[in-house]
């Protein structure tokens, strides 16, 4: 790892050096486009940086997920879930969210898909006292673990949680960072340019604190703990150094915007998008693998839970960047596998479909 990293660092340094040489020789730029000196801070601390709206949406998503999760032991309603989605009727326990002026719905693609799962989860919650069977909702229990699943074995709350990580947060980041080169980086309002505000917004959607530490183990008691994607940087992204890479790129890119260094901004945006997508794939891969491990075979609670998360993460991958390494044909295969009845998937001899999904994810993303 260390050696590899040094090489990458060298390569990056080389590229930077190379590009700056090129710049000097070939670009007779207007004075305001000249690169200014800038430094990259160790934390995401920049004058005027305000991503409170993104943070509010991250916290809303987390609250909505935990509400849907209570269906395990209580009856829930689609009305309340929809209220949270639309930020109506002050449903959030964190009162600042109720008055934040933003909603999840306004930025979420395929809202009907999610509203459908609110309804399903509410219906399923009426069956949280019966055992699940193929064709009917209920709970699967293993030891102290209890999972509420629908007729096909899917936990609707996981479909929502992980699906929305794609349909809202990642999709927005892709939109913001893919276009960052076209955003105005000159006119300053409240100490920031449009490009800087959009960059900050993208950072906020990651759900990590400004002083994020990729090596720290955050506990659920920590008020500053990473949420949603932020949590997955550690949960499934350790081996690909997702937390370190993405956090560093966000700081570098934001600093480069201040220095009007378009090349570095574009580079960092690409690093973020590629690594984020790889993180999504790594999560999907893990959840395609867990159900096939010998230790989990026969343990429906573990297998269905993993498949439910996998379902959400594969759903999320549809919001990948244009020009992604994952082909439409391979994506269709992944989607078809996770759309399969889970009882069928786990009983398939040799796990043919899941193994195929594992192979696609491994080969495409170098995992």
Partner 1 sequence: MKYNKNSFKVLSVILAVTVAVIACSKSGTELGGSKPDESGFDKTAMLTNYADNLIIPAYTTLQTQVGLLETAVNTFLSTPNTTNQAALKPVFKETWLKYQNVSVDQFGPAETALLSNFLNTFPTDSAVVEGNIGKGTYSLTSNASINQQGFPALDYLLFNPHALTDFSANAANRKKYVQDVLAALKTRVGTVLDGWKGSYRATFIGNTKSDSGSPIAFLVNQFAFEMDQLKGPRIGWPYGKQSAGVMYPKNTEGFYSGISIALATENLSALKRMFNGNGSGKGMSDYLVALKQQKLSNDVMSQFDKAINSLKAIPDPYPTAMTNNKTQIDAAYREIQILLTLIKTDVASQTGVRITYQDTDGD
Site residues (vs partner 1, CB under 8 A): 3-4, 65, 69, 161, 231, 235, 239, 290, 293-295, 297-298, 302, 305-306, 309, 346-351
**Pick 135 or 298: Cβ nearer partner 1:** 298
The pair phi, psi for residue 37, each rounded to 5°, is -65, 145
Between 5 and 18, name the residue whose CB sits nearer to partner 1.
Answer: 5
- CA angle, corner 208, sides to 309 and 270, nearest 5? 80
Q: Which is nearer to partner 1, 125 or 193 (CB)?
A: 125
Looking at the Cβ atoms of 288 and 306, the one nearer to partner 1 is 306
Shortest Å, Cβ 276 to partner 1: 19
**34 or 347: CB nearest partner 1:** 347
Q: How far is the CB of 158 from partner 1 (least distance, A)?
A: 8
For residues 132 and 257, which CB has a smaller minimum distance to partner 1 in the complex?
132
For the CB of residue 131, give the shortest distance to partner 1 in the complex, in Å: 15
How far apart (Å, rounded) are the C-alpha atoms in residues 286 and 294?
14
Between 14 and 298, CB nearer to partner 1: 298
Shortest separation between residue 263's beta carbon and partner 1, angstroms:
28
User: In Å, what is the CA distance from 358 to each residue of 132, 146, 154, 291?
Assistant: 27, 26, 19, 11
Distance CA(358)–CA(113), nearest Å, equals 25
State whether the Cα torsion 151-152-153-158 is positive or negative: negative
Decide: 329 and 343 in contact? Cβ < 8 Å.
no
* Residue of 84, 54, 110 lying closest to 228 (CA atoms): 54
Establish how many alpha carbons lie within 13 A of residue 159's alpha carbon, considering only the half-sphere containing its beta carbon: 24
Q: How far is the CB of 297 from partner 1 (least distance, A)?
A: 5
Could you tell me the smallest distance in angstroms from the CB atom of residue 190 to partner 1? 36
- Whole-number minimum distance, CB 228 to partner 1, in Å? 10
Which of residues 273 and 345 has its CB atom nearest to partner 1 in the complex?
345
CB of 93 to partner 1, least distance (A): 18
């Amino acid at each position: 790892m260390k050696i590899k990293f040094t090489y990458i660092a060298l390569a990056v340094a080389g590229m930077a050096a190379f590009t700056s040489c090129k710049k000097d020789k070939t670009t007779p730029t207007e004075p305001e486009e000249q690169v200014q000196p800038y430094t990259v801070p160790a934390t995401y601390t920049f004058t005027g940086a305000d991503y409170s709206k993104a943070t509010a949406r991250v916290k809303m998503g987390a609250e909505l997920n935990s509400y849907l999760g209570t269906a395990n032991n209580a009856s829930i309603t689609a009305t309340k879930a929809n209220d949270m989605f639309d930020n109506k009727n002050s449903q959030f326990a964190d009162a600042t969210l109720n008055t934040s002026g933003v909603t999840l719905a306004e930025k979420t693609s395929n809202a009907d898909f999610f509203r459908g799962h609110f309804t399903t989860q509410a219906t399923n919650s009426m069956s949280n006292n019966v055992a699940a069977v193929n064709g009917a909702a209920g709970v699967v229990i293993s030891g102290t673990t209890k999972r509420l699943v629908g007729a096909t074995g899917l936990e609707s709350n996981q479909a929502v949680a992980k699906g929305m990580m794609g349909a809202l947060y990642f999709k927005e980041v892709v939109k913001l960072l893919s276009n960052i080169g076209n955003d105005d980086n000159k006119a300053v309002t409240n100490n920031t340019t449009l490009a800087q505000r959009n960059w900050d917004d993208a950072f906020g959607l990651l759900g990590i604190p400004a002083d994020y530490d990729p090596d720290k183990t955050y506990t659920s008691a920590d008020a500053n703990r990473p949420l949603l994607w932020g949590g997955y940087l550690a949960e499934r992204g350790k081996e690909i150094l997702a937390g370190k890479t993405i956090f560093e790129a966000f700081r570098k890119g934001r600093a480069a915007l201040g220095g009007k260094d378009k090349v570095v901004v574009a580079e960092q945006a690409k690093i973020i998008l590629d690594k984020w997508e790889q993180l999504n794939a790594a999560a999907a891969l893990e959840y395609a693998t867990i159900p096939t491990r010998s230790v989990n075979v026969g343990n429906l609670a573990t297998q269905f839970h993993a498949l439910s998360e996998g379902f959400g993460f594969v759903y999320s991958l549809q919001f990948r960047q244009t020009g992604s390494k994952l082909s439409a044909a391979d994506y269709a295969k992944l989607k078809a596998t996770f759309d399969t009845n889970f009882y069928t998937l786990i009983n398939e001899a040799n796990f043919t479909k899941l193994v195929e999904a594992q192979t696609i994810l491994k080969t495409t993303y170098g995992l």
